Amino acid sequence: MKICSRTACGRQGGGRLAALALAVSGLTLLLADKALAHAVTLGDKGYIQEVSGVHIIPFLYLGAKHMVTGYDHILFLFGVIFFLYGMKQIGTYVSLFAIGHSTTMLAGVYFDFGINSYIIDAIIGFSVVYKALDNLGAFRAWFGFQPSTKTATLIFGFLHGFGLASKIIDYRISPDGLLPNLISFNVGVEIGQLLALAAILVVMNRWRATPSFARQAYAANVLMMTAGFALMGFQIAGYVVA
């Protein structure tokens, strides 16, 4: 049996972890031709349209399911925490995103204010591109200054929330029990976000410990940027066709 050297094994291990992390971005390309960002399955859509009254647990589940399967959210979170190491830092940025996302999702549905799904999802795709460029240091290199990453995270949180609000509005959720159901859905979204974040951190922490991380980080962000452009192109094409 061939035994690799410590350096070679480390390199191979780093490559596997890099591949796993990059799969988050690659999965977007596979899904893009099958579903819109923020899409809801037919069964969930039918449930949302038919129920009335307060349904706490089902809406908690739907919110968590949306976040865990929402590849645009996961890509953006992946980019946000890519170079964050301290839990306090991670908590700050994730909280900013959650505040933005929650605010516009709740307000948009409650006040029946949405944005065309194709347009908002194209903007969300741009948020992935923006974060990848930020991680690559492009803004400082191109413009000589670094935009506030906290402000950008909050703003894009608002936009991600509008994306979900627009989709829920399309399904005409019953006004009976609307606010409790929306709050439950939003709590579910945050639970799903924590689950997705935990999975990302497990992979990222192991990957960062490998000597190949610095070299592979560049490729990871280029692929993430490519995935963001693919999302934008898919949504823009859908808007034109529609």
Structural domain contains residue 1: no
Which pLDDT score is estimated for 40?
55
- Indicate the range of 3-12, 147-156, 196-205 predicted with least confidence: 3-12
In this prediction the pTM is: 0.78
Most confident by average pLDDT, 154-158, 186-190, 192-196: 154-158
Q: Is the pLDDT of residue 163 over 50?
A: yes
Structural domain contains residue 136: yes
Instruction: Give the pair of three-digit tokens for residue 183.
Output: 């709050």
Q: Which residue range forms the structural domain that includes residue 37?
A: 11-241
Structural domain contains residue 5: no
What domain count does the chain have?
1
Structural domain contains residue 6: no
Q: Is the pLDDT of residue 194 over 60?
A: yes
Which pLDDT score is estimated for 85?
84
Spatial distance between the Cα atoms of 169 and 70, rounded to a whole number of angstroms: 18
Which pLDDT score is estimated for 23?
52
DSSP letter, residue 65: H
With cut-offs at 50, 70 and 90, classify the pLDDT of residue 136: very high
Type of residue found at 175: P
Structural domain contains residue 126: yes
Structural domain contains residue 22: yes
Average of per-residue pLDDT values in the chain: 81
CB 37 within 8 A of CB 125: yes
Structural domain contains residue 151: yes
With cut-offs at 50, 70 and 90, classify the pLDDT of residue 88: confident
Q: Is the pLDDT of residue 146 over 60?
A: yes
The predicted model gives 97-112 an average pLDDT of: 89
Structural domain contains residue 149: yes
Per-position DSSP letters for 93-147, written without gaps between them:
HHHHHHHHHHHHHHHHHHTT----HHHHHHHHHHHHHHHHHHHTTHHHHHHSS--
Q: What is the per-residue pLDDT across 61-75, written as a single tens digit (0 to 9) for each? A: 988 888 887 788 889
With cut-offs at 50, 70 and 90, classify the pLDDT of residue 12: very low
Which pLDDT score is estimated for 228?
94
With cut-offs at 50, 70 and 90, classify the pLDDT of residue 219: very high
State the distance between the two ends of the chain, measured CA to CA, in whole angstroms: 59
Q: What is the per-residue pLDDT across 25-53, written as a single tens digit (0 to 9) for each? A: 444 444 444 444 455 565 666 777 778 88
With cut-offs at 50, 70 and 90, classify the pLDDT of residue 86: confident
